[in-house]
Structures are given as structure tokens and as C-alpha cells.
Amino acid sequence: MNKLKTYLQGGDLRSIAKANTLVALVKTQKDFDALFQCLFTKDRLIVMRSADAIEKITRQKPLYLTTYHQDIIHLMNTAIDKELKWHLALIVSRLNLTVEERDTVWNTLANWAKNKTESKIVRVNSIQSLFDLADQDEVLKKQFNLIIRAIEVENIPSITTRLKRLNQAQPQHTNF
């Protein structure tokens, strides 16, 4: 883990340091497991950059997350820092969730999406994952549309842009 931390340290929260370099170095599940453990350090910079790298890696290799369902759900329920939430909101939709896990995740994402005190990035990423999860279930599609109706009246540019993109991607999926 110390070797990984050298890619994740330094600078401030506006920088991802060498997280992109680290993404290219993670070639095996063992490498990924070591990176995942960095999410549990007390250093906010390392946690943020680890989450960034994990989010990028799992776009192509979501199976690396297979053993981490409970850890990710736990992190979602305990996360305070917006930088971690940004990435968890996207990562969680890549999990193969049970119905119970999906319901727990759905509730957290819905709360993040509707919460006006959350960062705009957390809200937008939560909306994206809710959209992705809603694709699995007709009831969730209806819930998603209700959530969106409540949010869209806020007229927040980043949220409005994401909603337009989602509506263009799958107009039959959305009803807003």
C-alpha cells in the first residue's frame, strides 16, 4: 500500500496528483485490492484520489468490485466528504446488487440527489446512477421520474444538462 500512496499524496483537493498514472499500473485483482484499501485511510486526499482511480478502473473492469459490495454500501452510508461521494455515486451502479442492496443504495442515492446541501457533482452523479439502476426495474423507473420532477424545478445548470443528456440517451426510459 505504501507504494500506491506515493501516487496519491501531495497537493490539494483540486488535484488528482498521479492517480491517472496509478490507473494504468493496476493490472490485477491483487493490485486493485491494495488500492481499495486506501479508501480506509484517514488522509482525505488519498481517499479522494483512490476513489477517483477506482472509479476510472472499474469503468472497464467492474468485476474488480465483486467482493466489495458491503464495503461500498458501508462507505456510502458513512461518507462525509463530497469528494468520496462523487465517486461512490458512480461506482455503486457497477455492482451486481441483490434486491435488498439495490434498495439500500437507491435510498442513499435518492437522498444525495435531492439534498440541496450536497455538492452539485454528488447530485449529478447520483442522478446518473439512479438512472442506471432504474433501467433494471419498472417501479424504479417510476420512482426515478418522481425524483427528477422534484429536482428539475431547481433549475441548476449542471443538473439540467445531465437530465437533458439522459433524456436524449433513452427518452422511453424517462418521463420528464
Per-residue pLDDT tens digits for 48-85: 989 999 999 999 999 999 999 999 999 999 999 999 99
pLDDT at 36 over 90: yes
pLDDT band per the 50, 70, 90 thresholds, residue 18? low
**pLDDT for the residue 148:** 93
Predicted TM-score (pTM) of this structure: 0.89
Q: Which cell numbers hold the place of 124?
A: 449529478
pLDDT at 176 over 70: no
Burial pattern 15-39, b for ≥16 Cβ within 10 A else e, equals: ebbbbeebbeebeeeeebeebbebb
Q: Which cell numbers hold the place of 139?
A: 417501479
Average pLDDT (84-89) is 96
For residue 53, which of 79, 80, 86 has the smallest C-alpha distance?
A: 86
**pLDDT for the residue 109:** 98
**pLDDT for the residue 23:** 87
> How far apart, in whole angstroms, are the C-alpha atoms of residue 176 and residue 173?
10
> CB of 116 within 8 A of CB of 150?
no
The proportion of the chain whose per-residue pLDDT surpasses 90, expressed as a percent, equals 72
DSSP state of 67: G
The larger pLDDT score, comparing residue 44 to residue 92, is at 92
Phi, psi (degrees; rounded to nearest 5) at 114: -85, -15
pLDDT band per the 50, 70, 90 thresholds, residue 20? confident
**pLDDT for the residue 8:** 73
Q: Which cell numbers hold the place of 79?
A: 461518507
CB pairs under 8 A, 24+ apart, for 162-165? 162/124, 162/127, 162/128, 163/127
